[in-house]
Amino acid sequence: MADRFTKRWRVTEYAYNPDGTYAGAIQQKRYLTPHADDKTRSRVWQSCLPEAALNDHPMGRFAGEWLFDLRREGRERHYLGADVVGLGLGWGDATITGSGEWTRFGHSFVSFGILVHPSRQITGGIFNPPNMHRRTFAPVPETAALIIGVAAPEEGDNDDYPSLTGAEYAGEIAETWRGRWEVYDENGNCVSERAAERHYDEHGWDEDGEAHDLERHQRFGRALLHVNETDNGLSESLEICDGAGETVVALRRELVERNGMWREIQVQVGVYIPVK
């Protein structure tokens, strides 16, 4: 699988408290550089600048430079330290989920990245206390922050950072949206693809005859999160409206606990655009 994520990125991350209130933004440079003698390995360097509003927030300690090595084995991305230790999994060539520990920062994490197109990535995740091995994006009172972000490749001398602006709810842009879903099994195989259409109003949306009520979702700005307990584990849906890009990105995951560890047994990725 070609690694479309290995490049230099400019990132803006928006941090939210567990209750959904907005805390502040972080500008980040994220450089993934392949090792000269081993193309399966990359060095990841990040430089983070939280805004002043985060000075007294846990994410204020995310300031500064961070460094870790990454090794790719098929669809797996092993985070080898020193600053990040964990595992990422690819779902196709445009989606990654991950989990592990930011050792020096002192938080465990669950993360995602979805390439909407080569020049725009919707990214984010959650920071929890250390060694809290949750695989869900659902916050708990001890959660430091839920992160929703956007990344764009660094280009020449352009010092700009991407931003998530515009409407935060897809229904404010258009009533009808059309998109496509890819469905992956636990081994990362794409087992189905389907087209879909949804219709929004102020209460939520209908997709292929199934109603999705806004009141059943926790809102983090432009992100909507819904988590449901199942007989075997958890089912969760995370939807993000990129108002400026006029896209809705959706990530649905089925998780089960095996031998004390949470595992994704199905991942669905959807991208929608408005019909005007």
* Contact present, 137 and 126 (Cβ < 8 Å): yes
Q: Is residue 183 assigned to a domain?
A: yes
Task: Give the other-Cβ count within 10 Å of 35's Cβ.
Answer: 13
Residue 117: exposed, middle, or buried by beta-carbon count in 10 A (0-12, 13-18, 19+)?
A: exposed
Task: Tell whether 143 and 181 lie within a shared domain.
Answer: no
Task: Tell whether 72 and 192 lie within a shared domain.
Answer: no
Task: Tell whether 122 and 174 lie within a shared domain.
Answer: no
Among 153, 185, 200, the domain-final residue is: 153
Task: Tell whether 212 and 99 lie within a shared domain.
Answer: no
The pLDDT value recorded for residue 260 is: 74
Residue-wise pLDDT tens digits, 60-86 = 999 999 999 999 999 999 999 999 999
* Contact present, 226 and 211 (Cβ < 8 Å): no
The pLDDT value recorded for residue 76 is: 96
Q: Give the pair of three-digit tokens for residue 202.
A: 């102020």
Residue-wise pLDDT tens digits, 179-235 = 999 999 999 999 999 999 999 999 999 998 899 999 999 999 999 999 998 888 899
The pLDDT value recorded for residue 157 is: 77
Mean pLDDT of the region 107-113: 96
Residue 264 above 70 pLDDT? yes
> For the residues of 52-115, what is the DSSP string, one character each?
GGGTTSGGGGG-EEEEEEEEEETTEEEEEEESEEEEEEESTTSEEEEEEEETTTTEEEEEEEEE
Average pLDDT over all residues of the chain:
94
* Contact present, 248 and 177 (Cβ < 8 Å): yes
Residue 236 above 50 pLDDT? yes
Residue 134 above 80 pLDDT? no
Strands 210-213, 218-220: pairing kind = unpaired
Task: Tell whether 197 and 79 lie within a shared domain.
Answer: no
The pLDDT value recorded for residue 155 is: 86
The pLDDT value recorded for residue 156 is: 78
Number of structural domains (the chain) is 2
Nearest one of 131, 101, 95, 139 to 264, comparing CA atoms: 95
The pLDDT value recorded for residue 37 is: 87
- H-helix or E-strand spanning residue 233: strand 233-242
φ, ψ for residue 43 (rounded to 5)? Answer: -100, 130
Task: Tell whether 26 and 148 lie within a shared domain.
Answer: yes
Task: Tell whether 34 and 133 lie within a shared domain.
Answer: yes
Among 104, 120, 153, the domain-final residue is: 153
Question: Greater confidence, 16 or 208?
Answer: 16
Residues in the chain: 276
φ, ψ for residue 191 (rounded to 5)? Answer: -100, -15
Residue 256 pLDDT class (50, 70, 90 cuts): very high
Tell me which residue range forms the domain holding 204.
170-275
The pLDDT value recorded for residue 133 is: 74
Among 106, 122, 153, the domain-final residue is: 153
Residue 133: exposed, middle, or buried by beta-carbon count in 10 A (0-12, 13-18, 19+)?
A: middle
Residue-wise pLDDT tens digits, 149-180 = 999 999 877 789 999 999 999 999 999 999 99
Task: Tell whether 147 and 199 lie within a shared domain.
Answer: no
CATH code where residue 28 lies: 2.40.128.20
Task: Tell whether 12 and 149 lie within a shared domain.
Answer: yes
Task: Tell whether 16 and 124 lie within a shared domain.
Answer: yes
Mean pLDDT of the region 88-109: 96
Task: Tell whether 183 and 147 lie within a shared domain.
Answer: no
The pLDDT value recorded for residue 1 is: 41
Task: Tell whether 182 and 243 lie within a shared domain.
Answer: yes
Residue 220: exposed, middle, or buried by beta-carbon count in 10 A (0-12, 13-18, 19+)?
A: buried
Distance CA 14, CA 30 (A): 16
Q: Is residue 1 assigned to a domain?
A: no
The single-letter code of the amino acid at 102 is: W
Mean pLDDT of the region 132-152: 92
